[in-house]
Amino acid sequence: MSLSFDVIAETAAGGRRAQLHLPHRTVQTPVFMPVGTAGSVKAVPQNVLEELGAEIILGNTYHLYLRPGHEAIARMGGLHKFISWPRAMLTDSGGFQVFSLAKLRKVTDDGVKFRSHLDGSSHFFSPEHSMDVQIALGADIAMAFDECTEYPAERRRAEESLRLTMAWAERSLTHHRENRHKTPWFDANTGRRQNLFGIVQGGMYTDLRKQCAERLVAMDFDGYAIGGLSVGEPRELTLEMIQEVLPLLPKDKPRYVMGVGYPDEIEQYAKLGVDMMDCVLPTRAARHALLFTSEGRVNIKNKQYAEDQGPVDPNCDCPVCQRYTRAYLRHLMQAGEPLAATLNSIHNLAYYLNIMKRVRAGMEAGSAAETV
Amino acid sequence: MSLSFDVIAETAAGGRRAQLHLPHRTVQTPVFMPVGTAGSVKAVPQNVLEELGAEIILGNTYHLYLRPGHEAIARMGGLHKFISWPRAMLTDSGGFQVFSLAKLRKVTDDGVKFRSHLDGSSHFFSPEHSMDVQIALGADIAMAFDECTEYPAERRRAEESLRLTMAWAERSLTHHRENRHKTPWFDANTGRRQNLFGIVQGGMYTDLRKQCAERLVAMDFDGYAIGGLSVGEPRELTLEMIQEVLPLLPKDKPRYVMGVGYPDEIEQYAKLGVDMMDCVLPTRAARHALLFTSEGRVNIKNKQYAEDQGPVDPNCDCPVCQRYTRAYLRHLMQAGEPLAATLNSIHNLAYYLNIMKRVRAGMEAGSAAETV
């Protein structure tokens, strides 16, 4: 048995309140997944993530492959054990970072040759290699190796990129099926195994997106992601692509939109039927003093907060809003104190996780109302 | 009523197990006080400090005066409230930082003119001004404004420095007595007020130390510190100065050695009768990968820990040793993850606080054994 996805309630708009049963955790969806790039959600200890209610976090294959190395992590029992995170995890394929961070890339049908952004050393990622790395890391969900089409992209370029992504999806799936028993926690008796998601690409061309979605669905992945969004396109286009693709994906499997977004975006997409989202925004913005609140965005470095005795967000129940003032958080930023990144990140993550909590509660209440 | 100091047990070596009743907390001594320079014990959230059992922390007057400013902190209700630390606090006089960090100092009998290390702006600290700043911050304990004699110092220089320190001690005491009712939490009915400690200087000249101690004791401070140690002198000299000065200080008041030290030092001095110590070492070393353990020092960046599945210290009950491996902590340092500073600091602080806990328990047990 791979994952199972039990829909508890559906809304007229297509939103779904579900339980996603993964090998290490039953995750309540729609869910926001904090990003733990190099094996750490930046500046936030694991026990705090648990206290905030995070049920699944991401690890980045490219970063962990380079440092400390997937083989070392496998020898230590896999990524869950290495970082001491007992709940669910998802790894990306490494493709996005190879294309955005690595140097001197050379792409062929076979895969991508690149140099590490850390030390310039040479490496090669193919669909097969990405699967081997992700199996060694042993997250609950692995992602097919794809090429994230840049924005803007000419139709010709998007077509060529899509051809590659679809060939690589097939090879990812084949190689993963043959090797997925190699995660440290695989169990043949219960069928407990790593899941693999396919990624819908196609740039901003709806017919290419459709073609990709249909081909991937025919391949029968454990779940489906929509990739190549939030890459610089206007938000209406992001929404259009999501709305085009969602109905093409199987209703009984989780749908994941990668790398989005702002608070209002994740709420909007969840209500349209997106089950999973991840984004570095809450933690990255936090480190740059940008805090999300129920009253709008707060740049906590602003002088206006110098003696502000209120919490960051009067409507937030997070441990930061319960204990510290805006004035103190501003001071920590001004003084360059490392605690600033930690407290700001905790608040922003709580804000994101609470949005999803409210969306889930709303779906349950809506469903209950209909039943009455 | 100012502080009260109740000795529970004494050892043959002069060690004392006591309760130090301060306005915001009854502190169990001997005590180690984590340093919260700019209103934060670097990289460690306040609730974690509480969980580790820290009962009193330091704030640095020089840093807080420059940023965010003592007047702003006073308007916000004082330092306890500003940083959300309900337990006891102590502020230094600012003298040490003026002499070590500030630029273009000019010392006269009146005070010290200096330029900020942050922006080069001009400032003036006198004993009276240091008292005003510390009263505005409102810690449980303030320190007299002194000149920390550098090491090595010629006798002539040490004498001159001591003359200044003693004149400033007198002025500090006078100004503090006249203004200590201005802390936000002063209570005339109960006598709840800020305490002021005198600081014994005198370089490495025992007769100067003695002369200083006697003069300060005659002035009747609420407690006494030995300053000007751990400034580069050999450790035997540090010990000699402590051993010379301790017997000259009143038995019924707390004795504080400033700015020490390594784990074995704080244990040694506590057993000789030092009641309070503070040091940036546990947190500063942590940020540079140096961890203190029951099995010796660990440079967690060393390659030998790359796949070490054990905790930092197998004999440590801190939350870091209970959850994370040496391999993971090494990885966090290697990857430049901000979590490294947090986890390393938590362990080192726990290690220091646990040393004092054991010393206190040993004194209690010794006393109990004698009673039997």
Q: What is the pLDDT of residue B327?
A: 98
Number of domains in chain B: 2
**Residue that terminates a domain, selected from B217, B244, B279:** B279
A246 and A291 in a common domain: no
**Residue that terminates a domain, selected from B279, B308, B325:** B279
A258 and A291 in a common domain: no
Please provide the average confidence, as pLDDT, over all residues in chain A: 96
B267 and B220 in a common domain: yes
Beta carbons of B45 and A75 less than 8 Å apart: no
Is A49 part of the contact surface with chain B (CB cutoff 8 Å)? no
CA dist., res. B138 & res. B127, Å (int): 16
**Residue that terminates a domain, selected from A278, A302, A324:** A278
For residue A79, give the chain B residue with the closest CA: B328
* Element (DSSP H or E) covering residue B365: helix B338-371
A305 and A200 in a common domain: no
pLDDT digits (tens, 9 = 90+) for A337-360: 999 999 999 999 999 999 999 999
Q: What is the pLDDT of residue B54?
A: 98
- Gap between the terminal Cα atoms of chain A: 35
pLDDT of residue A132 exceeding 80: yes
The dihedrals phi and psi of A260, each to the nearest 5 degrees, come to -120, 150
Q: How many CB atoms lie within 10 A of CB B361?
A: 11
A337 and A244 in a common domain: no
CA dist., res. A89 & res. A95, Å (int): 18
CA dist., res. A348 & res. A289, Å (int): 10
The answer to whether residue A92 is catalytic is: yes
Spell out which residues of chain B touch residue A337, defining contact as CB-CB under 8 Å.
Answer: 38-40, 42
Helix ranges (H only) for A186-234 are 206-219
Q: What is the pLDDT of residue B284?
A: 98
B293 and B248 in a common domain: no
Q: What is the pLDDT of residue B163?
A: 97
Q: What is the pLDDT of residue A276?
A: 98
Q: What is the pLDDT of residue A5?
A: 98
Select the more confidently predicted residue: B103 or A204: A204
Beta carbons of A76 and B309 less than 8 Å apart: yes
CA dist., res. A219 & res. A213, Å (int): 10
Q: Is the separation of the CB atoms in B356 and B263 below 8 Å?
A: no
Is B309 part of the contact surface with chain A (CB cutoff 8 Å)? yes
pLDDT of residue A371 exceeding 80: no
B188 and B315 in a common domain: no
Q: Is the separation of the CB atoms in A201 and A162 below 8 Å?
A: yes
Is B63 part of the contact surface with chain A (CB cutoff 8 Å)? yes
Spell out which residues of chain B touch residue A70, defining contact as CB-CB under 8 Å.
Answer: none
Q: How confident is the model at residue A367 (pLDDT cuts 50, 70, 90)?
A: confident
CA dist., res. A273 & res. A253, Å (int): 11
Q: What is the pLDDT of residue B366?
A: 87
Q: What is the pLDDT of residue B370?
A: 66
Beta carbons of A43 and B342 less than 8 Å apart: yes
A287 and A312 in a common domain: yes
Secondary structure (H, E, C), B70-84: HHHHHHCCCHHHHHC
pLDDT of residue A370 exceeding 70: no
Q: Which of B132, B222, B278, B313 is catalytic?
A: B278
A19 and A134 in a common domain: yes
The answer to whether residue B92 is catalytic is: yes
The identity of residue A355, as a single letter, is I
Smallest CA–CA separation between A57 and chain B, in Å? 16
Picking from A281, A41, A52, A289, the residue whose alpha carbon sits closest to that of residue B339 is A41
pLDDT digits (tens, 9 = 90+) for B142-170: 999 999 999 999 999 999 999 999 999 99
CA dist., res. B251 & res. B278, Å (int): 20
A159 and A148 in a common domain: yes
A272 and A161 in a common domain: yes
CA dist., res. A284 & res. A279, Å (int): 9
CA dist., res. B19 & res. B14, Å (int): 16
CA dist., res. B83 & res. A194, Å (int): 45
Peptide bond before A319: cis, by omega within 30 degrees of 0?
no
Is A181 part of the contact surface with chain B (CB cutoff 8 Å)? no
Establish how many alpha carbons lie within 13 A of residue A278's alpha carbon, considering only the half-sphere containing its beta carbon: 23
Cα A60–Cα A64–Cα A65 angle in degrees, nearest 5: 110
Domain that holds residue B292: 288-372
Low-confidence ranges of chain B (pLDDT < 50): none
A187 and A54 in a common domain: yes
pLDDT of residue A372 exceeding 80: no
Q: What is the pLDDT of residue A347?
A: 98
CATH at residue A251: 3.20.20.105
Smallest CA–CA separation between B91 and chain A, in Å? 18
For residue A340, give the chain B residue with the closest CA: B43
| B184 burial level (CB within 10 Å; 0-12, 13-18, 19+) | middle
Complex prediction ipTM: 0.97
